[in-house]
Chains A and B, each alone.
Chain A
Amino acid sequence: MRSDVWFVIAGMAVATYLTRAPMFVALARGTLPPRVRLWLRLVPLAVLPALAVPLVLVRDARLVIGWAHPPLWGAVVVFVLAARGVNLLASVAIAVALVALLRALA
């Protein structure tokens, strides 16, 4: 493993604390403008697909789309299960098991 892991962890800790403390301490009264609230709600909705979809569809800077690609099936399954209200960890476990099974069969 790379040598700067503790440096990255420290940076992550500071960055995360900056998302928690300043607003919490300063905003002991008053509220955020509605458009800022909307933006803060949309950020995870944009970041999470931006993270997940390339992990599933892109490998070595090339698009991997095909029904013989197990993660694609796993992605569809976990998304549908979670959207239907199945417990988050159960959805993930089922999708992971499916990917393992498809790989074993291939």
Chain B
Amino acid sequence: MQRHSDVRGAVGSVREGVLASLALVPSVFVYGTVFGGLAVQAGLTAAQTLGMSVLVFAGASQFVAVPMLAGGAPALAIIMTTYVVNMRHYLMAATLAPAFRRFRRAWLFVIAHVINDESFAVAVARSQPPDPRVYVGSALAISGAFVGGVAVGVALGGLVERPERYGLDFAFPAVFLALVAVQLRRRTDWLVAVAAAVLAVTLSLVLGGSWHIVVAGLVVSAIGAAVLPVETPSTVDEPA
């Protein structure tokens, strides 16, 4: 009896996670559609675009990789840039991990793959510490919406000719700038963002290529973390 109600409680929490994520599903779906369309426009095949979305499953870094792939950046530069863009997962993984203490190790390796900004936000906003089953339910909804959106985008993307005519090439920097804008909370955040931009532009003029992204990103954030005052947990636990 006890066991039965445990299972029902678990299923209920997963469903709760799915329901709590429904508000985010349309925008994640559209985000996926935009990615699918732009990736196909840039020259990736449908299989490559979908494969990347399932295997990497990290939207921002995928948006970053596509123009680099199309522009002929070295493979290692793309992979390193992906790593640095996704380093924020360390923070989310560290915050979520204690809640999954009672899960089997094998499951942890599976659940780790679907760590994403939106589900993190949903789970952390619901309860502290986050309910692991709510998190799993949210990850199911978000990953389904993203991959489904990419599939639709792949189908539609081939229809647009000359994407720059519609300003679609500008969608990449626009997404990045919007993501920065919503993360600037403290005055020192501006300092970090502006310093990184100036260093990246300078390096890009001097070096060409695409290493300026990793170098400026790591150097400026590391200097910032070394010299800026450490914040209280309440200001760092919010999702990016």
Contacts and interface: CB of A to CB of B under 8 A. Distances in A.
Q: Counting chain B CB atoms within 10 Å of each CB, which of A2, A31, A88 scores highest?
A: A88
B197 interface: yes
A14 B213 CA distance: 19
Interface string B180-201: 1111100001001111110111
A46 to B, nearest CB: 4
Interface in A35-64: 35-58, 61-63
A82 B177 contact: yes
Given A79-B178, A88-B182, A52 B82 contact: no
B204 A24 contact: no
Interface string B153-183: 0000000000011111011111111111111
A7 B230 CA distance: 39
B200 to A, nearest CB: 4
Contacts of A40: 87-88, 90-91
A72 B109 CA distance: 43
Interface string A7-51: 111111111111111011111111110111111111111111111
B112 A48 contact: no
Interface stretch (B14-22, B140-148, B220-228): B220-228
B167 to A, nearest CB: 4
Contacts of A4: 75
B58 A5 contact: no
Query: Binding site of B, secondary structure by majority: helix, strand, loop or mixed?
Result: helix
B221 A42 contact: yes
A32 B96 CA distance: 12
B1 interface: no
A97 to B, nearest CB: 7
Residue with the greatest number of chain B CB neighbours at <10 A, chosen from A23, A27, A80, A103: A23
B69 A2 contact: yes
Nearest to B91: A40
Contacts of B67: 55
Contacts of B98: 27-30
B85 A44 contact: yes
Given A40-B87, A46-B192, A75-B174, 10 more contacts: A5-B48, A11-B76, A13-B52, A16-B57, A40-B90, A47-B84, A48-B179, A52-B176, A55-B173, A71-B173
Interface of A: 1-2, 4-21, 23-32, 34-58, 61-63, 70-71, 74-75, 78-83, 85, 87-89, 91-92, 95-101, 103-104
| CB-CB nearest 6 A-B residue pairs | A39-B225, A47-B217, A100-B167, A99-B167, A50-B200, A52-B176
21 contacts: A1-B44, A2-B72, A11-B75, A11-B76, A12-B61, A12-B78, A16-B57, A16-B86, A17-B113, A21-B109, A28-B108, A29-B98, A32-B91, A44-B88, A48-B85, A49-B193, A74-B170, A74-B174, A78-B177, A91-B181, A95-B170
